[in-house]
């Protein structure tokens, strides 16, 4: 299935999809019977799947029960507060904007519809991710997209990504989060299904590498926020700038000594 790239909106709202390796389709479809029951535990981690809407449970269940490859990453610690981490996670275009401006990565992201994002890692993986469920500590996504890699032919597929966030504290007392990611990938390519026993380890490594790049990008972004918050705010406001509400969020959190270790006086010079 090919993925039609949407028109770009102004940078107005990654991670992850970044936090998203093989991304995503758009519409939820019609409700089916509640015979589609998702298990609560995935790779040893419990998720509140009973709160997922019935129609989505019936879309996710075939992938989680008949996957090509499944992967668990984490817990991975990122030195960002829960508030900042969650905000970036829920505003992929904002995160992609900062990652690109700070030369951390080549990510691109755009809003496709409410809770639906197009994303590309700039290295062969792109698609659309739909947020299926969200609470303070959980994100569940349905994804569909393609990967054009060096060692694999062009492949398309569907995926389910479950993220569990745990606030923690560093030894220096600063806030951080530990994120655990569980993914299930189901390829569309019939030819690959015939040689899957050979390719499954390779595909699993590719998926893991894609997601780990996103965690690395988040970690690097957190370093900039702590060590050079004025640079982060400059890149957020330099035209084309982020939307006003996102700039206001950055001004507030980056002026907090608990985040940066010091108050950043230079932020007062920005509009």
Tell me the per-residue pLDDT of 136-150, one tens digit each, with 9 for 90 and over.
999 999 988 877 766
Q: Examine residue 161 and state whether it is found in any structural domain, yes or no.
A: yes
Q: Examine residue 142 and state whether it is found in any structural domain, yes or no.
A: yes
Q: Examine residue 202 and state whether it is found in any structural domain, yes or no.
A: yes
Q: What is the CATH number of the domain that holds 172?
A: 3.30.530.20
Query: For the CA atoms of 82, 86, 89, 91, what is the dihedral angle to 10 degrees?
Result: -140
Q: Examine residue 212 and state whether it is found in any structural domain, yes or no.
A: yes
How many domains would you assign to the chain? 1
DSSP summary character for residue 81? -
Q: Examine residue 5 and state whether it is found in any structural domain, yes or no.
A: no
Q: Examine residue 268 and state whether it is found in any structural domain, yes or no.
A: no
Closest among 221, 223, 224, 225 to 213, alpha carbons compared = 221
- With b for 16 or more beta-carbon neighbours within 10 A and e for fewer, the 173-194 pattern comes to eebbbebbbbbbbbbebeebee
Q: Examine residue 267 and state whether it is found in any structural domain, yes or no.
A: no
Residue 37 has pLDDT above 80, yes or no: yes
Q: Examine residue 143 and state whether it is found in any structural domain, yes or no.
A: yes
Which residues span the domain enclosing 157?
A: 18-259
pLDDT tens across 43-84, in order? Answer: 999 999 999 999 999 999 999 998 888 889 889 999 889 999
Could you tell me the pTM of the whole model?
0.77
Q: How confident is the model at residue 105 (pLDDT cuts 50, 70, 90)?
A: confident
pLDDT score recorded for residue 172: 82
Tokens representing residue 146 in the block: 């393609």
């Amino acid at each position: 299935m090919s993925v039609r790239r949407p028109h770009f909106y102004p940078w107005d709202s990654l991670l992850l999809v970044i936090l998203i390796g093989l991304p995503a389709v758009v519409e939820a479809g019609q409700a089916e019977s509640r015979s589609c029951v998702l298990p609560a535990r995935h790779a040893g981690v419990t998720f509140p799947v009973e709160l997922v809407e019935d129609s989505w449970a019936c879309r996710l269940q075939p992938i989680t029960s008949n996957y090509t490859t499944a992967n668990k990453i984490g817990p991975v610690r990122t030195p960002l507060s829960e508030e900042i981490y969650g905000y970036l996670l829920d505003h992929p275009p904002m995160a992609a904007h900062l990652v690109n401006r700070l030369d951390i990565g080549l990510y691109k992201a755009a809003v496709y519809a409410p809770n639906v994002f197009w994303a590309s890692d700039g290295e062969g993986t792109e698609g659309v991710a739909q947020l299926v469920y969200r609470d303070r500590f959980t994100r569940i996504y349905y994804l569909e997209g393609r990967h054009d890699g060096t060692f694999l032919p062009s492949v398309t597929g569907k995926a389910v990504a479950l993220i569990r966030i745990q606030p923690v504290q560093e030894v220096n007392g600063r806030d951080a989060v530990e994120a655990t990611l569980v993914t299930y990938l189901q390829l569309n390519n019939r030819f690959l299904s015939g040689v899957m026993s050979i390719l499954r380890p390779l595909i699993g490594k590719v998926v893991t590498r894609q997601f780990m790049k996103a965690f690395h990008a988040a970690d690097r972004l957190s370093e900039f926020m702590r060590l050079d918050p004025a640079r982060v705010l400059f890149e957020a406001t330099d035209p084309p700038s982020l939307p006003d509400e996102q700039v206001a969020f950055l001004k507030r959190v980056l002026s907090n000594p608990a985040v940066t270790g010091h108050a950043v006086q230079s932020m007062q010079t920005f509009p």
